[in-house]
């Protein structure tokens, strides 16, 4: 299982939001490139970078900063936030991203199909849930579609990987949504990365046992509740014990 330290970009800074609300913001670094290097120096095999300004506006806003991050670390970077068109995907891959995350745009069959035709396994689909429904447009709106139904349709269209976030748990340190993960894994065969709510090493192990391919960890790492080294060790221990 892969541990993805999260780096959320807002106004050129590394921040964390609670439940995706920009009014509930904590800044964790004025130099996101240094933050990225720090996580990789501590052993991160991947980074998870989200352009929050892009997610809220629908247009990527931090491509230059994302490029600096990608070029400054040895680890691959998956990037999301405001990627709605093939041109956006071209731009983020040119910036050095190893994987691009489609959110709202993935619900458009034409966009998803074209993205998969061009980029294949380098695409991941974000499934963001609010009360069991799909949250869209930077989590400001909710579609009238159940997350499980959306997952099944997207998997049928060829989506190679999902990143699942329960909005209510994001940044709240209340534990991951293991029930939601279980429902998704029952609906799709594609791997699922779990995001939102991870607060401890026990949460990481629980996600691994529930079948998550990886976990995105943000606030717990930045607050010091969980060190990246500890998260990596428990994953290694779990794998060795299987």
Q: Are 198 and 167 in contact (CB under 8 A)?
A: no
Can you list the alpha helix ranges (DSSP code H) found in the chain?
A: 32-41, 52-57, 63-72, 86-94, 109-119, 147-156, 178-187, 201-209, 219-223, 228-241
Q: What three-state secondary structure class fits 211?
A: coil
Report the 10 Å Cβ neighbour count for 201.
Answer: 18
Q: Could you give the CA distance from residue 76 to residue 71 in angstroms, rounded to a whole number?
A: 10
Per the residue annotation, which of 51, 53, 88, 128 is the catalytic one?
128
In the residue annotation, 149 being an active-site residue is answered as no
Given the residues 8, 51, 53, 203, the one annotated as active site = 8
Residue 16, strand partner residues: 26
Q: What ranges in 11-158 are assigned the alpha helix state H?
A: 32-41, 52-57, 63-72, 86-94, 109-119, 147-156
96 DSSP 8-state letter: T
What phi and psi values does residue 113 have, to the nearest 5 degrees? Answer: -60, -45
Which has the closest alpha carbon to 172: 48, 2, 20?
20
Would you state the torsion angle of the CA atoms of residues 7, 208, 74, 32, taken in this order, to the nearest 10 degrees? Answer: 10
192: Cα separation from own chain's centroid:
10
- Among residues 206, 198, 124, the alpha carbon closest in space to that of 166 is found at 198
**108 is known as an active-site residue:** no
The catalytic site residues sit at: 8, 128
């Amino acid at each position: 299982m892969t541990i993805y330290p999260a780096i959320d970009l807002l106004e050129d800074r590394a921040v964390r939001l609670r439940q995706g609300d920009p009014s509930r913001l904590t800044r964790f670094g004025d130099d996101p490139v240094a933050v990225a290097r720090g996580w990789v120096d501590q052993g991160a095999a991947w980074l998870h970078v989200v352009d929050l300004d892009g997610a809220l506006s629908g247009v990527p806003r931090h491509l230059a900063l994302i490029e600096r991050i990608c070029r400054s670390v040895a680890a691959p970077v998956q990037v999301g936030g405001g990627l709605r068109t093939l041109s956006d995907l071209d731009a983020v891959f040119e910036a050095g991203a190893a994987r691009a995350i489609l959110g709202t745009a993935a619900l458009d069959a034409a966009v998803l199909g074209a993205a998969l035709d061009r980029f294949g396994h380098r695409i991941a689909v974000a499934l963001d849930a609010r009360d069991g429904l799909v949250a869209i447009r930077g989590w400001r709106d909710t579609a009238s579609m159940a997350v499980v139904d959306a997952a099944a349709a997207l998997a049928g269209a060829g989506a190679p990987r999902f990143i699942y976030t329960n909005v209510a748990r994001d940044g709240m340190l209340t534990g991951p949504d293991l029930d939601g993960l279980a429902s998704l894994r029952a609906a799709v065969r594609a791997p699922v990365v779990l995001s939102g709510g991870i607060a401890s090493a026990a949460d990481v192990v629980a996600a691994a046992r529930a079948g998550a391919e990886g976990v995105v960890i943000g606030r717990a790492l930045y607050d010091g509740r969980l060190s990246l080294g500890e998260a990596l060790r428990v994953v290694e221990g779990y794998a060795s014990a299987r």
